[in-house]
Structure 1
Amino acid sequence: MKKHFILSALLGIAAVAVHSQNISSPTISVLKAGFINPPASAKPGVYWYFMDGNMNKESITRDLEAMKKAGISNVIFLEVNVGIQRGKVDFLSADWQELFKHAVKEAERLGIAITLGIGPGWTGSGGPWVKPQQSMQVLVSSMVIVKDHQKERIVLPIPQPKAPYFGEGAFTPELKNEWQAFYEDVAVLAYPTPAKNQKIADIDEKALYYRAPYSSAPHVKQYLPSKTQFMPTDNKEAADKKQIIDVARYLKPDGTLEWAPPAGNWTIMRFGRRNNGAITRPAPVPGLGFEADKFDTVALNAHLDSYVGKLLRKTGGVNPKLAGGLKRLHMDSWEMGSQNWTPHFRAEFIRRRGYDPLPFYPVYAGQVVESEEISERFLWDLRQTAQELILEYHAQAVKKYAHKNGLVLSIEPYDMNPTADLELGAVADVPMSEFWSKGFGFNSSFSAVEATSIAHINGRPLTPAESFTAQNNESWKQYPGSMKNQGDWAFAAGINQFVYHTFQNQFLPDSLRPGATMGPYGVHWDRNQTWWPMVSAYHQYISRCSYLLQQGNTVADVLYLNPEGSPHVFRPPFSAFTGNDTIPDRRGYNFDGCSPGLLYKATVKNGNITFPGGACYRILVLPSFATMTPALLTKIGHLIKDGATVIGTPPVKSPGLSNYPECDKQIQSLVNMIWGDDIDFAKQTTRNYGKGKVIWGYVIDGQLDNLYPKYEVTAAILKDMNIAEDFQSNAPLRYTHRATANLDIYFVSNKTDQTVSADAIFRSTKGQPQLWDAVTGKITALPQFKKIAGQTVVQLQFASYQSFFVVFTKQTLPALKTATNIARSSNIATLTGPWQVSFDPKWGGPVNNTFTALSDWTINTDDGIKYYSGIATYTKTFNLVVKPGKTDKLLLNLGEVHDMAHIKLNGKDLGVVWTAPWTVNITQALQTTNKLEIEVVNRWPNRLIGDEQNTGKHYTYTTYNPYRKNSPLFKSGLLGPVTIELSR
């Protein structure tokens, strides 16, 4: 299921060079203030989904107020049709527009930023106002073979449409009729029929008729192979370009061709344009319509005016003085498929590629023209032209429209994207990715690499992600503690704002809970969650992490260049990661991916490949790809000559037909200049060129890994350059590193559910390390450290899945006196004996209960407790006399908790615990006689399962319930042991 507001930074920090001396940097006091109380720019957001007309003012206000209270600062507003019966408010009707205006005004009141998808549904830009003439189109064809001296009348059938990728079932009857009826002739070509019928393999993919989703469909190519060796093609196997005749003027309206072919057998092809079958999905029924032409700004602007423009006029436009309200437009994951035609495509092709595509139209249908190589080169040019049109006339045009109206643009540049993902995403003001909940969906972790790479290279401080998307069997299973490890992976991957998928608008009465869902999709991140009253503590953690990870620039040593051409999904060498494929962690040398379009912006400073946005890299790694255009190779040569270190084997040919065959001669000349004219591929070789050098020969002994040298090869080269790994540890820790001129900020987290101690080695000597704990907001000194050869070794200890920031700065913080890095704790009391436990009768629980010992609710003999979901309050009175030292702390440790807890001691609110180490500081609240209150909350499944027992009252209601009476229950409650610890 692929299917968030401009960064108003508290500090005004520009995203500037990692290694530059001109980086603006906050003072420690300002950084600390933002860390303790993060600004709105660091707070998480949600996908706010409405379900086809099920909406009202009351639920909109309640949703937004619940978000504000919980620490959510931004939403993506989308209306879809998934899993719920249609409501009464038709999409874009007068009533609907009033409700949208109400949402905007309430968001303005509450300071919540709204991002608007650029079309109904979650996927594209279209609607019922898009006519076939301005929709996504493909060039279709029919073929007639005329035998020598055929006397019968030649009739050319109208070419049939291509089957829609998602099938015809999504069409309304009206849309299906329009799809079938729309056709316009483009060309009629005739050529002598080859004796043999050689066909181009995978033509529907190569000619951009279809592009399946890379993340979810099997066997989808990451990229199309770059061939330089072709089987010889003789004149019996291919159409001779010089003999292709344009006979369109002889075509009559009834399909008759009044043209007499010369002697011999002739192939006659009729070409026309048709709609590609892409419609808005999964749009509300009144929003179903064709996707607008992605090659045509006129068609796009007509669509935008019919949707976005209408809403801007209704709401009065954007108010830049307010933190809330409309702030951004959004292009979500690309799920519209491909197109390969528009009425001006031929003219655009000629302008961009320098030759006329008309004689090559048969190649669209897999017919070889001239030769296999010539035809494949034409197809490369076709895809390149399509990519340029999408970037310029669609993505850039949306961005221009957004800016004109005071908005910015975010883009998720995947998943059926017919362009190169990195090229599309580079257009965005806010590049965005998506990751699915581990175990509950697809693996789209590659999109995090793509979006963060784009953000780093372009100097974008904000890199959000559609977070924890889920499907089918998720069903209220997840909660903040269960998501901690994957969330920390996302932070280490470079993501610095979570936008949870999904907050379903709760249009039903509040008494009906869990309430409305998006069918089986999404982690349920809405106000009807049992644990929602406690979620702000988790959001505070997420906001603190996001805030620090939005400072400065990410430090990365390796820049992987992805090859030219489309479609292309960027993936680094798999060996650059450790761990599984859902949450793959980076190794000690961090990296980014770079598109050819972005590389043209690079320069060399102090031997580093540097970009205007501030990112810089120690080495550039070329893909092991046989083709490259002379323009790109020229740019690479300039970088090496100016001092860059480049790893890569030389290309063999240029990929397209532009300036062919001179382009291949240019490639060979540039290769000889950069790599030399006597290239030995049998051993690793270094050649100086200008101020820089090029290294190759690493493909020996299988050292190639997904287009690039294995991590070990690249790491060895960096070590030879006296560049140590950015982070090393003798424990299973993940990391990422942000830097400003006078600060190094490392995020480090434990990847396991075990307590671990580590000697962590940081490539920084910018002063004394400090520990910043994003769970508590506490900052402490790390007095035990060693500096060795540009690195600092620090002793650290982590609880299960615990994380910290280690900040290096020469600016000191007051009152950070501690003797050791790791506090020593000892148990001084265990709270045994009975507990009074009160459950909420509204959800079937008994009010007054005595637990003689702490135990799991699901093994209780009382069904009201066994199947209970919600908050229960544990109460105990205990006596304790203890005299801690001046610097000692007294901690309350809850032991095992399912799933979150809110603690009060003697009436003093000590906050919420949701993750290890499950402790709170009680030093100031503890008395001789103490009253302890602990509110503990579990998840919805147990009550949903209990209601399936077909006995007694049903307490829950939901629009989607996969649970049955024999479904397994989830461990719940406070299991302890609850202890008091002395920490010193």
Structure 2
Amino acid sequence: MRMRTGCLGIVAGVAIGFCFSVAGGELEAAFLKPPVHALPHVWWHWLGNNVTRDGITRDLEAMRDAGIGGATVFHIASHAGMQALSNSLADNVSYQNPAWWALMRHAAEEADRLGLELGMHNCPGFSVSGGPWITPEYAMQKVVWSETQVKGPALFSARLPQPKTALDFYRDIAVVAVPDGEPAAASVIDVTARAAADGTCTWQVPEGRWTLFRVGHTPTGARPRPAPEDVKNKSLEADKLSAEAMTIHLENVIPPLKRELGKRVGTSFAHLLLDSYEAGQQDWSPRFRAEFLARRGYDPVPWLPVLAGRKIGGGTLSARFKEDMALTVEELFTENHFALFNKWTRENKLALQIEPYGGPFNPFEAAAVADVPMVEFWGFPVPWTKEVGGFPGVAGAVGRALGRPVIATEAFTGMPTYAKWSESPKDFKNTGDASFARGINRMTLHHWVHQPFDPRFTPGMTMGWWGSHFGQVQTWHRPGKAFYRYLGRCQALLQRGEQVVDVLALECRPQASELDAVPASVFLRDLTVKDGRLVLPSGRSYALLRLPKRDAMSLPVARKVRELVANGATVCGPRPARACGLADYPAADTEVRRIAEEVWGPQAAGAKEHPFGKGRTVWGKSSEEALADLGIQPGVILMNNVSNRVLCSHREDHGVPYFFLANITGEPASVTASFRVAGRTPEFWDPETARREPACLWTERNGRTELRLTFEPNQSRFVVFRKTSAADGDRIVKVGVPGARQLEIVKAVYRAKDTGEEKDLTDIVRAQTGINSLRLHIDNSQLGGDPFPNRFKAFEITYVLDGKQTTRILNERQWLVLPKGFSEDPDVRVGRNAAGEAVARGARPGTLAALTRSGKLLTAEVPAPPPPLDASGDWQVKFAKGWGAPEEPVTFASLAPWNASPVPGIRYFSGTATYTKEVKVPEALLAKGLRVFLDLGDVRELAEVRVNARDLGTVWHAPYRVEVTDLLRAGDNRLEIKVTNTWANRMIGDAQEPEECVWGQPKKAWDRQKEKEYTGCGLSVLPGWLKAGEARPSKGRYTFCMWNYFTKESTLLDAGLIGPVRLVCEAEAVFVGPAR
């Protein structure tokens, strides 16, 4: 974490309190009104040449009104490359022609007017970097070869076959002769000088069998994809290893932007994007041989047959040559592609967003170049992952280490088997929360497709069959603003301060957000040690350095590790056995092994650490174990976290620690959370409602704050520690069923398992024992350090509980939980009522006890709440006009899904319907000490709730429930619920009608069970009536969509208010003599 010094020079207590107060106030202000930069972004796809000025304005205004902060323009093929569209809406528009630039200028002007950030992908398509200005000479190159067998002694004179050539472009690299077997590199003969330009080679062959390799390079054939049809076959991917080629590309991107958009470049037009790399491999470039020689110190030419499968110098040396090849490609890729891009963007005040993975480059180095590192995750289960949501991975780990405030993600990307106008915000809650909890702090929604058509033709344009569908054409766009607000509130907090991480890794791939990472270049150049901590120029500092799990280490890295450990660092990782590659071989291996002997010490059985200089090395241990040895506890420990339902992210802003916790399942969850915070009052901040309230039930143990947290299905919250707990008084620390039990600690020892040596811990454990209770994690940080390093230990405790003596033995890292002074009730929640009294909520009827910090016992009598009041019958339902449903209100005698209706207009309805009902509420439900909730049961998909004309907002995921305690009155109460479903049913209904469009061939895709499923077909030609904006021929169709996901046989989806709808009461019992 970062070392802060901003409050020095003032009286310590006042200064710290002031800083906490200011930071806490700024945190709250951002939470209540997220700044624009904290709002979610979208990827704004322009499909083919179907772009209009009016459509641009409608799109951007809808984004602004929904709470979107920015958009990235992609100009891609008309069906995202899935199939071709034979015509377009705007025949005069082509990528970067004058009409296109006029549209881009309009978009920039409108974004500026609306206060939105605009940017674009750097080239046509969504991968990677190139265009029609790249010729084969400057395209991505690969090594190719032909082989000719010869035997000597003899004079050979013949034309060597030209290797396989692409795009009619080929250049020779060398001609080499390799004797049979596994010859040394010195035995490989370069005969390039004996070969003519046409490949004719004249050479006196020595004794034996030889293979002549004619080695050259040719374009890989990679093209930006999926580029608009009119530039698709004219465009090539630029050579990523060539500064000259990449300069040609950048000259065709950034200067035209500046010329056309003027002063908006670097202001409202603020970023360029390099989307996920999908251009394949590249292993050569015109200057590659010279670069390799300068960087690796030897000529690669004698080794090139290794790329054809030959072994030079044996398998080990051949593999090490491949290491050098890969490293050279990675370095050139970073310098001439990513870093050159960054140089151009920074000079023009543009941020560079990069998804740094998937290519023949070092993702750590690529992430270090990004101003906004990005990842991606899918909104639904996909065959290649079982995880919910996304991981910040390398991008997040490197971005955090280098102080990047935003770790973004391409969010909720949809597979056609799941996202087919059938998705809604409830489907995104858990995946989004999991991504937030793992360290992501900006959602960039995939996608918000540009809608060029007359709004009558809805939902209109799609990105082929890809993506989750956001935008003003969604049925739920208006009520879905609650979802966008939720994202904005989460991001407002998650973009402040910094994530707390104790471990820095050298090019280790993190599984979540447990460590930061740096590439070798940053490691070698910037990492220092101060007071035993590893420090980066960003201000981030760490207790531990984690090395990758491999036996090879470059000599510069080995020297740097020795320097860091000598200066006081703790380094965790395996001893290196050799250097990397063939550079300075074998001398480099010798020096690496010598450094290993110094820093890791002599190899000895069972050894797991070694002191060197002011620091030490550790191996054979996890990061958690190594941190525990340093006395550093986890930032948060979640106990009883069944199936890891609850995830957590730990952040700090100017000394104010706070945590985002999320239940990522559709089931209730309960955990006991232990936070590495002391002397502060925890507060609960709800990002859905913006409600903030202090916790009323928690304890402090061993410098940590412990509280039990209960979660509804799909619930998330922030736990914020912005205020000191000095004024909390004699607060409640435990709640449960009365019945005192007596606990006495007789003896506690730590014992080495191999020798039986003991350390007495009785006094330490007694000091940690609460009021007749003990919760103890068996680790060195809680038990006074490690008395027997690098040895297995057992913890033995003898105690008396209720007069009965018991002895227990536990291993390291287990939990010991002994009974409390009374049995805790796992369901009860403690809060304060409107009068400020301490109350119990959710408790079972009967007597409830509370224990205060001073040991005072309080009681509360919990009454049995009245039974739920059913409100499922006799609803008046008014369907929105224009979508085929009856125009007059319809009575639902009992609630049922719309798709079960015998009326076709209801069965196939998509959109919003308003349910109204008068409910008689008895006095019993209004009694003091009751909270009343309107529980809607099952809703498909979103519900906007009003009670007695009071707007209660939108519920968009289960449980569909709102509190109505203060809104009800005895007698009649009016309920009004607007329910919105998805487009799927109306589209299936339209499929029952005669066809009016021409469609392409049906396509199928894999679902998670790896079974193929029909996922539709794209429009082959835009109909004339659509282009002209005229009425459509069909009178029975209501939707128009560029991709048809459904047939007349497709299964209808549940829709509407399904219920049961009930008024449900919860007792709220006041503790006698409430703690203050």
Matched, 1:241 2:179: no
Tell me the distance in 1 between the aligned counterparts of 2:679 and 2:227: 53
**Partners of 2:840 and 2:682 in 1: how far apart?**
10
Tell me the SS of whatever aligns to 1:287: helix
Secondary structure of residue in 1 paired with 2:286: coil
Larger radius of gyration, structure 1 or 2? 2
| Cα distance in 1, alignment partners of residues 577 and 5 from structure 2 | 35
Structure 2 match to 1:705: none
Query: Equivalences for 1:879-894 in 2 at 5 Å?
Result: 879-880=920-921, 891-894=933-936
Q: Is the 8 A contact 1:766 1:809 kept in 2?
A: no
Q: Using the alignment, how far apart are the partners of 1:424 and 1:553 within structure 2?
A: 21
- Secondary structure, counterpart of 2:633 in structure 1: coil
Corresponding residue of 1:115: 119
**Correspondence for 2:697:** 784
**More divergent stretch after superposition (345-354 vs 797-806):** 345-354
Q: 2:1017 aligns to what?
A: none
The answer to whether the 8 A contact 1:748-1:804 is kept is yes
Is 2:154–2:206's contact at 8 Å kept on the other side of the alignment?
no
| Pair 1:280 & 2:229 matched | no
Mean CA deviation greater in 947-956 or 309-318? 947-956
Question: Of residues 491, 496, 499 in structure 2, which corresponds to 1:546?
Answer: 491
Letter in 2 for 1:119: C
Deviates more, 1:515-524 or 1:851-860: 851-860
Give the secondary-structure state (helix, strand or coil) at the position aligned to 1:432.
Answer: strand
Aligned to 1:673, what secondary structure does the other structure show? Answer: helix
The answer to whether structure 1 residue 91 and structure 2 residue 89 are counterparts is no
Cα distance change of structure 1 residues 17 and 310 upon mapping to structure 2, 3 Å threshold: same
1:318 aligns with 2:248: no
Q: Displacement of 1:46 after TM fit?
A: 1.1
The alignment status of 1:977 with 2:964, answered yes or no, reads no
Give the aligned partner of residue 664 of structure 2: 751
Q: Structure 1 residues 671 and 472 mapped into 2: Cα distance closer, same or farther (>3 Å)?
A: same
Partner SS, residue 27 of structure 1 = helix
SS at match of 2:395: helix
CA contact (8 A) 1:784 1:820 kept: no
Query: Which residue, 574, 586, 602 being the options, matches 1:649?
Result: 574
Residue 247 of structure 2 is aligned to residue 304 of structure 1? no
1:145 aligned onto 2:149: yes
Matched-pair contact (CA < 8 Å) for 1:553–1:614: no
1:968, 1:388 → 2: CA distance? 53
1:896 corresponds to 2:839:
no
Equivalent residue, structure 1, for 2:377? 435
Q: Which residue of 1 aligns with 2:523?
A: 599
Residue 295 of structure 1: how far off its partner (Å): 1.2
Equivalent-residue separation in structure 2 for 1:80 and 1:615 (angstroms) = 40
**Aligned residue for 1:567?**
none
Stretch deviating more after TM superposition (405-414 or 686-695):
686-695
| Counterpart selection for 2:59 from 63, 66, 78 | 63
Distance in 2 of aligned mates of 1:352 and 1:878: 80
Aligned residue for 1:771, secondary structure, equals: strand
Q: TM-score, normalised by structure 2?
A: 0.77
| Cα gap change, 1:762 to 1:903, in 2 (>3 Å) | same
Long gaps (5+) in structure 2: 9-15, 729-831, 844-864, 995-1034, 1069-1076
Residue 919 (structure 2) pairs with residue 878 (structure 1): yes
Q: 1:380 maps to which residue?
A: 323
What are the superposed Cα offsets for residues 28-62 of structure 1, whole Å, 9 maximum, x if unpaired? 22211110110111111111111111111111111
Q: Distance in 1 between matches of 2:841 and 2:296?
A: 64
Matched, 1:461 2:461: no
- Displacement after TM superposition at 1:756 (Å): 3.0
Alignment counterpart, residue 438 of structure 2, candidates 468, 489, 493: 493
Q: 1 CA distance for matches of 2:314 and 2:945?
A: 76
CA positional deviation for 1:264: 4.5
Tell me how far 1:292 sits from its aligned partner: 0.6
1:736-885 matches, within 5 Å, as: 736-810=649-723, 817=836, 819=838, 829-847=869-887, 848-880=889-921
Deviations 1:686-734 (A, max 9, x none): 22122222223x3xxxxxxxxxx6xxx4434433443333222324321
Measure how far apart 1:674 and its partner are. Answer: 0.7
Equivalent residue for 2:752? none
Secondary structure of 2:422's match? coil
Residues 600-624 of structure 1: CA deviation (Å, up to 9, x unaligned)? 3333344333322233333333222
User: What residue is the counterpart of 1:402 in the other structure?
Assistant: 345
Question: What do the CA deviations read for 1:433-458 (whole angstroms, capped 9, x no partner)?
Answer: 00112324643977522221112111
Size of the alignment, in residue pairs? 869
**Retained in 2: the 8 A contact 1:318–1:406?**
no
- In structure 2, how many angstroms separate the alpha carbons of the residues matched to 1:457 and 1:608? 14
Q: Is the 8 A contact 1:293 1:342 kept in 2?
A: yes
2:238 alignment partner in structure 1 = 292
Cα separation, 1, equivalents of 2:463 and 2:438: 28
Tell me if 1:944 matches 2:987.
Answer: yes
Mapping 1:163-202, distance limit 5 Å? 179-191=166-178, 193-194=179-180, 196=181
Looking at structure 1, the residues matched to 679 and 147 of structure 2 have their Cα atoms a distance apart, in angstroms, of 71
Local SS of the residue matching 2:462:
coil
Structure with greater contact order relative to length (CA < 8 Å, sep ≥ 6): 1
CA distance in 1, matches of 2:539, 2:423: 38
Distance 1:542 1:822 in 2: 29
Judge conservation of contact 2:877–2:892 (CA < 8 Å) in 1.
Answer: yes
Structure 2 counterpart of 1:334: 277
SS in 2 for 1:775: coil
Using the TM superposition, give the Cα deviation of residue 348 of structure 1 relative to its aligned residue in structure 2, in angstroms.
Answer: 1.3
**Quick one: which of 124, 138, 158 aligns to 1:154?**
158
Once the two structures are superposed, the pairs formed by residues 695-774 of structure 1 within 5 Å of their partners are: 695-696=618-619, 698=620, 713-725=622-634, 726-731=636-641, 732-774=645-687
Q: Which residue of 2 aligns with 1:27?
A: 23
Higher mean C-alpha deviation, range 543-552 or range 966-975: 966-975
Q: Write the distance in 1 (CA, Å) between the matches of 2:49 and 2:534.
A: 52
Aligned partner letter, 2:669: V
Contact 1:774–1:805 at 8 Å: present in 2 too? Answer: yes
Deviations 1:933-975 (A, max 9, x none): 2110111111222222348822222121222233222221112
Counterparts in 2 of 1:612-631, with a 5 A limit? Answer: 612-631=537-556
Residue 281 of structure 1, CA deviation: 0.8
Residue in 1 that maps onto 2:295: 352
TM-score by length of 1: 0.84
Return 87-96 or 114-123, whichever deviates more.
87-96
Letter in 2 for 1:56: T
- CA shift, 1:265, in A, is 4.0
Mark the CA change 1:884 to 1:633 in structure 2 (over 3 Å): closer, same or farther.
farther
| Mean CA deviation greater in 859-868 or 444-453 | 444-453
Q: Which amino acid aligns with 1:362?
A: P
Within-5 A mapping of 1:118-133: 118-133=122-137
Q: 1:317 Cα shift?
A: 4.4
Q: 3-state DSSP class of the match of 1:403?
A: helix
Give the equivalent residue in structure 2 for 1:686.
Answer: 609
Question: 1:174 matched to which residue of 2?
Answer: none
Secondary structure in 1 aligned to 2:152? coil
Shift of 1:886: 9.4
Whether contact under 8 Å (2:156, 2:201) holds in the other structure is no
CA contact (8 A) 1:411 1:428 kept: yes
Q: Which has the higher strand share?
A: 2
Counterparts of 2:629 and 2:591 in 1: how far apart (Å)? Answer: 33
Counterpart-to-counterpart distance in 2, 1:318 and 1:139: 43
Q: Write the letter of the residue equivalent to 1:496.
A: N
Does structure 1 conserve the Cα–Cα contact (< 8 Å) formed by 2:146 and 2:214? yes
Distance 1:723 1:151, change over 3 A: closer
Partner Cα separation in structure 1 for residue 686 and residue 638 of structure 2: 20
Higher mean C-alpha deviation, range 849-858 or range 119-128: 849-858
Structure 1 residues 487-512: Cα deviation after superposition (integer angstroms, max 9, x where no partner): 11000111111111111111222222
1:660 aligns with 2:585: yes
State the partner residue of 2:503: 558
Counterpart of 1:919 (choices 958, 961, 967) is 961
Partner of 2:306: 363
Whole-Å separation in 1 of the counterparts to 2:6 and 2:296:
39
